[in-house]
Chain A
Amino acid sequence: MQDVQLGAVESRFADLIWQNAPLPSSELVKQAAEVLSWKKSTTYTVLKRLCEKGLFENDGGTVKVLVSRQDFYALQSQRFIEDTFQGSLPAFLAAFTARKTLSPEEVAQLRKMVADYGED
């Protein structure tokens, strides 16, 4: 559980459950559709994921809370976790990507360039 991180959207979804649990899954679907514009399948997919992470449980159609919101955020670690869906964006969307991230020296250089700008 220490390894669980929630993205902003997932958190929003989790909040829906924390705010309204226990609630029938069909009700959750309706709320997710309203607030997040999610399809039914999406709701179930994410719910299943969160259940596997031990936060909630889908007991015969009723969604129940296993770890409360306070407990969850208290147990949050600051460790960075790679997103499960790594992968560069398709070429027809993004410019050519080389995923070359900047080194600290390069970052410092660039920041200096920006900071100095306009001071001549």
Chain B
Amino acid sequence: MENVFLQLLNMSISAGYLVLAILVLRLLLQKAPKFIRCILWSFVGLRLVLPISWESILSLIPSAQTVPPKILYDKEPAIQSGIPIVNNVINPILSDSLAPDVGNSVNPMQVVIILAANIWIAGMVVMVLYAIISYLRLRYRLQEAAPLRENIWVCDRIDSPFLLGIFRPRIYLPSSLPENDASYVIAHERAHLRRKDNWWKPIGFLLLTVYWFNPLMWIAYILLCRDIELACDEKVIQDLGESSKKLYSEALINCSVPRKMISACPVAFGEEGVKGRIKSILNYKKPAFWIILLAVIVCIAVAVCFLSDPPSEQKQPSYIFDAIVLEINDDSMLVAPLEGETETATSDKFRIHLVPDDVAVGDTVRIWYDGMIQELYPAILPNVDHVAIIEFADQLANLRKLYPEYFDLSTSNGLDVYVWAFAAGSYHCGLVSGRNTAYSMEDVMDLRAASLEDMALILSTYDIPRENITIVLTQHPLSSYAFFVDEIPAHETYITWALGLSDGPKVNPPDFGGGILITHPAVIYSKSADVDHDGIMEQCTLSYGPTSGIFTFTMSIQEKGELEYFNIFYSEHLSLGLERTDNGQLLVTGTTQGEDPVHHIFTVTIQDGNIVLTEDGVALPYWGEQGVESVYAP
């Protein structure tokens, strides 16, 4: 119910802009035929009836959705009026006073809007009751009416002539109407009939019943009624000719004067607008062709500028997650988000009212939605844009476990795929959010290698345009294979195809021309850290030592491509690894082999130009020649 109310609110705001424009235009269109004004009011009616409209850059409506539905759930409720000044005044007030409190289960904005919606319905009921009661009272009075001729009736109990009835319209004349005036009154009411005003006014009133909360709509309705009368006057004069003006005007005046004789005949035919109407009648001239043309052009312009909606802002980024289908009903299905999806923090079950064809229980589906979650149990997603069944669901689940860091990355700046080759024909890649600067070597080395096929699947979980995915061929420092410059296009073509980013036919991987670049001992692990606290990140590499017989390993620390520290350690045989803590401390981990493995953790520090590995205050012993000048150093 609140959503319906919000939608109507937005529609009435859009229509309000149109009404303001019409108010201005009426000043300019005074010389134009009056029925043009009625056409303009019909545009207002259209605006109020059509929930959406076509989008056009020519639209002068600031915003078609001033109060977005998500305001009910947003952590920061805000309106989008399309007018920056208004936004800047209102939105801070909303955030301060009506933002939802995480602790509370009651969302103040929701409370306010539900209250408003209830008031709206109450107002509608009042309007409808007024209309029904007035109509019944009128019918009661009219039961004493007697037919005169054709569809014209006479009644003692009415003060003024009017047209009543949608399907069998009748003209009712008060019995006190003077003879001479009768023919003009009848001509006027007949003009109403020809213009179908007995339909338009009730329709207008019906719209007013719904949109009663918008004061501009009352202005529009009041002016519509006046313009209808003016248009009818014009029609009568048009038909009866110039010579009828005087007598018609006199009829109008007569009906404005309370007679002392039988009963008065004020209002309706002769009401407050009398002066304006008489002026309009006396001044009426058959409009020149160019005036009509101008009026038509104005109408078209108004239609284009105010019946269309402004182009919608860049679509809000969709929230996407994958889930398993638990249950399918006619109009909804129950799904459970996959492990690792952020939605699992809100609920383990979601109900969605979009059921794709051919979906079956147990399928994995991908769901695009606008971020709104109704926190019930099961949680409900009210605005789901799209649901697609996913193939390779199992593989993706595995990849999610294997490479969780490559899923759900921010795509606001695109995605970068770093690709390197570790061996001929063997590409590896890592995925990061796009940045304006290239990732440094150290950061690239931190990436865990995934195959192209795996990366293709991972990329398929992202909903961004292809041109926002950048492939970055990178020379991984630990790789022996180089991308030669003239071979790069061939590599890129193949990689683009292999990652599923091109539509073309199968592309074959190019030959690897690169040879071995660097000879170095086999690398066990590499990590970047600022070991010597000089503010610059170094690249630390663990490699096997030069000995056989006893277990040694080396640690090389390079800064900006230059070897800065080099030491050889010896210990019992360990399975080694490198870790970096959250505060940047580098650690060497070592696990003994065999039964009852023992885990060692050494902190890495630099002392007197040497790397020191310390566990529980005891430093690991060195072996052989130390330092960057060592014969063993790379």
Chain A residues within CB distance 8 Å of chain B: 5-10, 12, 35-39, 41-42, 45-46, 78, 80-102, 106-107, 110-111, 113-115, 117-118
The digit string for B133-169, where 1 denotes a CB below 8 A from any CB of A, is 0110110010111110000001111111011100000
Asked if B175 contacts A95 (CB within 8 A), the reply is no
A-B contact count (CB 8 A): 155
The digit string for B227-243, where 1 denotes a CB below 8 A from any CB of A, is 01100000000000010
Contact of B268 among A35, A86, A89, A110 (CB under 8 A): A89
Asked if B271 contacts A95 (CB within 8 A), the reply is yes
User: Which residues of B229-286 have CB atoms within 8 Å of chain A's CB atoms?
Assistant: 229, 242, 245-246, 249-250, 253, 256-264, 266-268, 271-275, 278-279, 282
**Is B362 engaged at the interface, CB distance under 8 Å to the other chain?**
no
Asked if B282 contacts A117 (CB within 8 A), the reply is yes
Asked if B271 contacts A37 (CB within 8 A), the reply is no
Asked if A91 contacts B205 (CB within 8 A), the reply is yes
Q: What's the nearest-Cβ distance from chain A to residue B511, in Å?
A: 84
Please name all residues of chain B whose beta carbon is closer than 8 Å to the beta carbon of A83 when the two chains form the complex: 156-157, 159, 263-264
Given A87-B137, A92-B205: A99 in contact with B147 (beta carbons within 8 A)? no
**Is B308 engaged at the interface, CB distance under 8 Å to the other chain?**
no
**CA–CA, A46 and B264, complex, Å:** 21
Asked if A9 contacts B266 (CB within 8 A), the reply is no
User: Which residues of B191-222 have CB atoms within 8 Å of chain A's CB atoms?
Assistant: 201-202, 204-205, 222
Binding site of A, secondary structure by majority: helix, strand, loop or mixed?
Answer: loop
Of chain A, the residue at the smallest CB distance from B131 is A92
Of chain A, the residue at the smallest CB distance from B155 is A9
**CA–CA, A118 and B283, complex, Å:** 10
Q: What's the nearest-Cβ distance from chain B to residue A4, in Å?
A: 13
Please name all residues of chain B whose beta carbon is closer than 8 Å to the beta carbon of A88 when the two chains form the complex: 267
Asked if B144 contacts A85 (CB within 8 A), the reply is no
Q: Which residue, A5, A42, A94, has most C-beta atoms of chain B within 10 A?
A: A94
What are 30 A-to-B residue pairs whose CB atoms are below 8 Å?
Answer: A7-B175, A9-B154, A9-B156, A12-B146, A37-B147, A42-B144, A45-B144, A82-B263, A83-B156, A83-B159, A85-B141, A87-B137, A89-B159, A89-B268, A90-B134, A92-B204, A92-B205, A93-B138, A94-B268, A95-B271, A95-B273, A99-B271, A99-B272, A101-B256, A106-B275, A110-B275, A113-B282, A114-B246, A114-B282, A118-B245
**Is B225 engaged at the interface, CB distance under 8 Å to the other chain?**
yes
Of chain A, the residue at the smallest CB distance from B250 is A114
Q: Which residue, A9, A46, A85, has most C-beta atoms of chain B within 10 A?
A: A9
Given A7-B176, A95-B268, A101-B258: A111 in contact with B250 (beta carbons within 8 A)? yes
Asked if B146 contacts A110 (CB within 8 A), the reply is no
Of chain A, the residue at the smallest CB distance from B163 is A93
Asked if A85 contacts B157 (CB within 8 A), the reply is yes
**Is B226 engaged at the interface, CB distance under 8 Å to the other chain?**
yes
Given A89-B160, A90-B131, A102-B253: A95 in contact with B225 (beta carbons within 8 A)? yes
**CA–CA, A40 and B314, complex, Å:** 68
Of chain B, the residue at the smallest CB distance from A114 is B249
Asked if A10 contacts B138 (CB within 8 A), the reply is no
Instruction: Pick the 10 closest A-B CB pairs, nearest first.
Output: A7-B156, A8-B175, A90-B134, A95-B225, A92-B205, A36-B146, A98-B272, A114-B249, A42-B143, A7-B175
**CA–CA, A97 and B264, complex, Å:** 15
The digit string for B543-554, where 1 denotes a CB below 8 A from any CB of A, is 000000000000
